[in-house]
Amino acid sequence: MKKIYTIIALLILSATATLRAQNNETEITVTDNKGKQEVIDLPEGMLSEVDSLLYLYNSKTYMKPASDCNMPDVNPVYTKEEYISRLKRIPSVIEMPYNDIVQKFIDRYSNRLRRSVSYMLGAQNFYMPIFEQALETYGLPLELKYLPVIESALNPKAVSRVGATGLWQFMLKTGKNYGLEINSLVDERRDPIKASYAAARYLSDLYKIFGDWNLVIAAYNAGPDKINKAIHRSKGKNDYWEIYPYLPKETRGYVPAFIAANYIMNYYCDHNICPMETDLPVKTDTVMVTRDIHFEQIAKVLDIDIAQIQELNPQYRRNIINGSSQPSTLKLPSTLITNFIDKEDSIYAYNTDELLTKRTEVKVNEDTPVYTKSTKSRSKSKSKSRSRKKRGRKNVTVRNGDTLSEIAERNHTTVARLKKLNKISGSNIRAGKKIRVK
């Protein structure tokens, strides 16, 4: 009996350790001067799995591990004074002070997220020129180019658990407010150029409200209403570190994460992190499309990888450009633009009946059905069978903050079962969506 109790105790300890490890993946714990501990949620960009990032088309095609990096895979330890000195040397108009919370986020980037930092140092060659141009156009501090590092880990296809999408993680309403087209076929939140200019406009508007860049960064994460509430609860204080206790858990870590992102993207060498080597993609150009067209039509006639078309045109959600609705852009390698123009009619004609199946006119079947007794009997039997199957099923609506493990526990099932029933491959689920639990 004693042996059985020992085994049970070991199992409980193991489960507890696993749970702590899982929690540690999504949050950090800081201790203040009085010994009080506080748990802070990590921004979603710090939760991205590097393997999924390396699967992106640009990563697979144009990036590879550094071949000439001989630094040891060891993260050196520095004094508090050294971190303060380095942050002070970053050329920035945005205040980047040091404290224990900032240090926790620097430690996360330089230790557990080393491979992600290596990826982002390579991927920045694709995106930073776009970010900088958009920020420069609106006269904004260029260090804001590192916001997508903590928002999306530089993944243009990123979708958060609440539906924020793209490099800059726009919510649907905010994206539309800033001129991004979002419908069943198009989502310009995924377009790096259009989303960057929309983000720059949004940041500019937030600065007009708050006049302080740390508050602007916090508002970009939580929304201006929550920042105004925190200011009100703190008796009108308008300093991020003063209103800190009144902020949502994730927003408390958002400015420290932004400071840490600026630090690691500038001082990665001091932490023995090697950037991935990058060959820049081929030059591209744009043509206007005035008829509906499927990516496969372009790929087959021009002999181009459909994955490359998807990567160059991420705003199109279903590989269809709805050019008949309004003139729409198609980005291609510059070498193929003339070829597209010369073969345009052939491209539009290729396999149209199979690829563009939405009918413009249909004939209604006006035949009167003839029912027999046996037909009615079979119909009732099928109806009863379907009814029994439906009674055995159960769906629930995903609530804000829900995880698969929490839903599984509430409904007495397993995460593996939920994934199988709903054909979920990852771990992200969207609030408001119905998923099957039985």
How far apart are alpha carbons 284 and 336 in whole angstroms? 9
Question: Containing H/E element for 322?
Answer: strand 320-322
Three-state DSSP class for 301? helix
Q: Which residues are known to be catalytic? A: 151
Hey, what are 371's tokens? Answer: 């029912």
Q: Report which of 359, 356, 360, 357 is spatially closest to residue 292, judged by C-alpha positions.
A: 356
| Measured distance between the N- and C-terminal CA atoms of the chain, rounded to whole angstroms | 37
Residue 191 identity (one-letter amino acid): D
Cα–Cα distance, 252 to 242 (Å, whole number):
11
Which tokens sit at 369? 């059905």
Q: Would you list the DSSP string of 47-95?
A: S--HHHHTTSHHHHHHEE--SS----S------HHHHHHHHHHS--SS-
d(CA 43, CA 402): 16
CA of 187: how far to CAs of 104, 127, 199, 274, 383, in Å? 35, 18, 15, 34, 40
State both tokens at 45.
Answer: 């960009």
Angular region, 285: left φ>0, alpha ψ -120 to 50, beta rest: beta
Residue 278: CA count within 13 A, CB half-sphere? 20
